[in-house]
A and B are shown apart, each in its own frame.
Chain A
């Protein structure tokens, strides 16, 4: 059709060398940052720098080779971007560990990075065609729900850490099943919406200026909304509920192309959040801390918080957010320099608040660069979604890319007091095995869809002229 000719898609190239150079650059930047931390904290290049650097470089080389073999047409920018963000996260955790921050462990994180890349390569090797996931739509939905629900059903001793009931803890080992549930649910959403999109888009009555869907089609939205509120209630996990709900609405919008879904979603969410704020103390506390964080009433008695490590539940509800803001302030435009600030004063600065720690030491300049990395990563994902050839691929990669952006928005917005704070990880930066693994798998799926989208179509055996199937 003429539309294809009107918007010519440039012939994709593999760009393997460019990717390798960017990858090497990312590893070099990370090694430089390691050296910087060591010089600032101990006055010498850290002894483990070469080991860390070679380790990271080696891991990424493996990822690169697997990518070259199993997804040669994938977007060349994605892996270097993730490598750089993951590496900066490692450096920040290393820096916080060197400040004797309790809980921060760079060795642990680099191990999880290794396992994450292993999962990344395994996904690419095993999942040769992501469209097979469409056949697992309802399985994925069930798996997602089970994973999400497990911590709520387990006794607190096995699932609760610092008030949030989102863990499975067995022995010294712990995982957050919710991180993996996100992926399963996105697969479910994609499969379900592809199947129902026509009904959702077309059936329904028009009331005033918005198209109302039929009640039975509205079902999944209500179910998901109820589910996210349930998660919120039982697991005190505001972040995940917000994340899932938002992602579902976005995917619904992509699939149906109806703005009314977005409006309904927002209304439901705001209503739900308002009710939750009234009904649950811990939700109300987040609102208070958000609206007036510097108020001494909410800030509390800092002496309790200054203990090492800070007893976080004891000090005021806005103590953590204020410490983060103080960190941003201390960083200013250029930052204090790696190793020269006091990010260890911010509670949980190695996990939820790693963005504040980065802001303190790398400053506005560093954060703008970091946000740009995330923006590029998200937009590369959406680009492959645009280029994808079938609705399931489009919806899956679009959903995954949005999930990533939405996750960044919720946690960074929370830490910078743009929106109320909900606990989430900063993708690829925060310390934590489950999140890192899940996000590396997410990247593998993006890479897989991108490979499929950019791969040149097989030559037709019989040239039948210009006949093509156009997919909207």
Chain B
């Protein structure tokens, strides 16, 4: 019987070899597919298995993981100032994430290659993997001031503030907002129901208006037109006389561009500075037509428009609009045609002027440290573009200071500080109240902060160009005061 026994022995080995081959096939070849199968709930639990890093702003914790009693979900995400930082931190839901939680996910959950060394040390010391901590550039005081002031207005809107010298984002507020805690729970159905509610909400609480939404810039765009005009001929300055008719006839049409409410602008010939102070339409419309589409577009691009930006969340593209006729160009030159700007883009324009013409690349993450506190990465401020010459920047600065001191933006004055600014009132559709804009920086001679404020459908017909000044400027003032400790 030994012959058959040997054959049976071979058959037994063959059976086990077959099992081995099959296990190899499963765990080496098919593993990735099985792991990533949407029905594999392990991915879901895995999200909550590691202690994600903290997100901090100015040393203040704005997102952290806390241990739970549950065996399946070891850590759950907590947001101490939930609504205040919602659009900065984002949320960490069972199947997705948003904002910094999403863009820095690999660092926060420790899977990034940058953390390889840390992970290997942990492996040897037997410590559980912890994600890296992310410090954001937000200044908690600026954020709070912006949030409170915008909320007090009772409107939807956005505030974004930058540090002109570096491009660090000091405040990023978008209202209405949401509570990221509600979207970061482990109860899938609850989270999804809440998300559906928020997604369907007409007021769009999930939308980060500072970077993901574009608006017609209105009169704030006149600083760009003015910049292009000054750059075009360096002999021009704030005192240069410009034509300011009551109505500017638009070529090849039977309509003409009026000033707001059909008002006159001085005596028909005013200084550039006066035109900006009073935010007259006709001089800037005329300037735009004289410069032509290419020069206007080029100037906007020099301020950063058209560059794909990630702060690290991706920023919606701002756009000067297509080339049309002269009439359209005149309208675009006062920010009222096809040009669409994100609040961040407008803040970058203010920041570029504040920084002597150099626009810094905006960024939100200042520092990454591993769980032991060792720095892994630190932000390195980077120039995005040289938008205007420093002479042009000085001239614009003078004019914008005058706007706040003598013009439409006197509500943005901060005692003891020179504030530069420009208001805007962007008409939307007929019968709809306009959006109120304000861009600003301060102190004018050594800018610490530049910002853009938009209040959607700010106020209905309060008066010529006053809406940006009335509604948006006080919000800017609150933020400036918070940062400048006034």
Chain A residues engaging chain B, CB cutoff 8 angstroms: 39, 99-100, 250, 253-255, 257, 294, 299, 302, 306, 322, 325-333, 340-342, 345, 359, 363-364, 367-368, 371, 374-375, 378-379, 382-383, 385-386, 391, 394-395, 398, 401-402, 405-406, 408-409, 412-413, 416-418, 472
Contact = CB atoms under 8 A, between A and B. Distances in A.
A416 B22 contact: yes
Given A254-B4, A374-B16, A472-B2, A302 B27 contact: no
A363 B23 CA distance: 9
A378 B28 contact: no
A417 B41 CA distance: 20
Nearest to A367: B23
Given A253-B4, A254-B4, A386-B6, A378 B12 contact: yes
B399 to A, nearest CB: 64
Interface residues on B, range: 35 or more
Contacts of A345: 41-42, 45
B37 A398 contact: no
Nearest to B189: A303
Contact of A257 (B1, B26, B27): B1
A402 B1 contact: no
B27 A342 contact: no
B16 A326 contact: no
Given A39-B126, A100-B71, A254-B5, A328 B16 contact: no
B9 interface: yes
A255 B35 CA distance: 47
A461 to B, nearest CB: 29
B16 A333 contact: no
A3 to B, nearest CB: 10
A398 to B, nearest CB: 5
A391 B1 contact: yes
Contacts of B199: none
A330 B42 contact: yes
A409 B15 contact: yes
B1 A408 contact: no
B8 interface: yes
B12 A326 contact: no
Nearest to A41: B71
A256 to B, nearest CB: 8
A418 to B, nearest CB: 5
A418 B19 contact: yes
26 contacts: A99-B71, A100-B71, A253-B7, A254-B4, A254-B5, A257-B1, A257-B4, A326-B34, A328-B26, A328-B34, A329-B33, A329-B35, A330-B42, A332-B28, A332-B31, A364-B27, A367-B20, A367-B27, A371-B20, A379-B9, A382-B5, A382-B8, A386-B9, A398-B8, A405-B15, A408-B19
Contact of A386 (B5, B11, B16): B5
A371 B23 contact: yes
B8 A371 contact: no
A189 B18 CA distance: 27
A253 B24 CA distance: 31
Interface string B32-74: 1111010111100100010000000000000000000001100
B1 A394 contact: yes
Interface in B128-184: none
Contacts of A299: 39
A254 B5 CA distance: 6
B334 to A, nearest CB: 57
Nearest to A194: B1
Contacts of B190: none
B2 A379 contact: no
Contacts of A254: 1, 4-5, 8
Given A379-B9, A382-B9, A472-B1, A332 B35 contact: yes
A263 to B, nearest CB: 14
B13 interface: yes
Interface of B: 1-9, 11-13, 15-16, 18-20, 22-24, 26-28, 30-35, 37, 39-42, 45, 49, 71-72, 126
Given A333-B31, A342-B45, A416 B39 contact: no
B33 A398 contact: no
A386 B3 CA distance: 9
Contacts of B45: 342, 345
Contacts of A341: 42
Contacts of A363: 27
A248 to B, nearest CB: 13
Among B8, B41, B72, which residue has the most Cβ atoms of chain A within 10 A? B8
Contacts of A371: 16, 19-20, 23
A405 B33 CA distance: 30
A417 B18 CA distance: 12
A405 B20 contact: no
Contact of A364 (B6, B24, B49, B71): B24
Contact of A302 (B13, B22, B41): B41
Contact of B40 (A250, A329, A378): A329
Contacts of B18: 409, 413, 418
Nearest to A308: B72
Contacts of B3: 257
A322 B31 contact: no
A405 to B, nearest CB: 4
Contacts of B9: 379, 382-383, 386
Contacts of A329: 26-27, 30-35, 37, 40
A472 B28 CA distance: 44
Nearest to B37: A326
Contact of B28 (A333, A386, A416): A333
A391 B39 CA distance: 54
Contact of A328 (B1, B6, B27, B126): B27
B23 A364 contact: yes
Given A294-B37, A299-B39, A409-B16, 6 more contacts: A254-B1, A254-B5, A302-B39, A345-B42, A364-B27, A395-B1
B19 A326 contact: no
Contacts of A250: 8, 11
A405 B16 contact: yes
B1 to A, nearest CB: 5
Contacts of A416: 19, 22-23, 26
Contacts of B8: 250, 253-254, 382, 398, 402
A363 B27 CA distance: 7
Nearest to A409: B15
Nearest to B19: A412
B321 to A, nearest CB: 48
Nearest to A401: B12
A382 B12 contact: yes
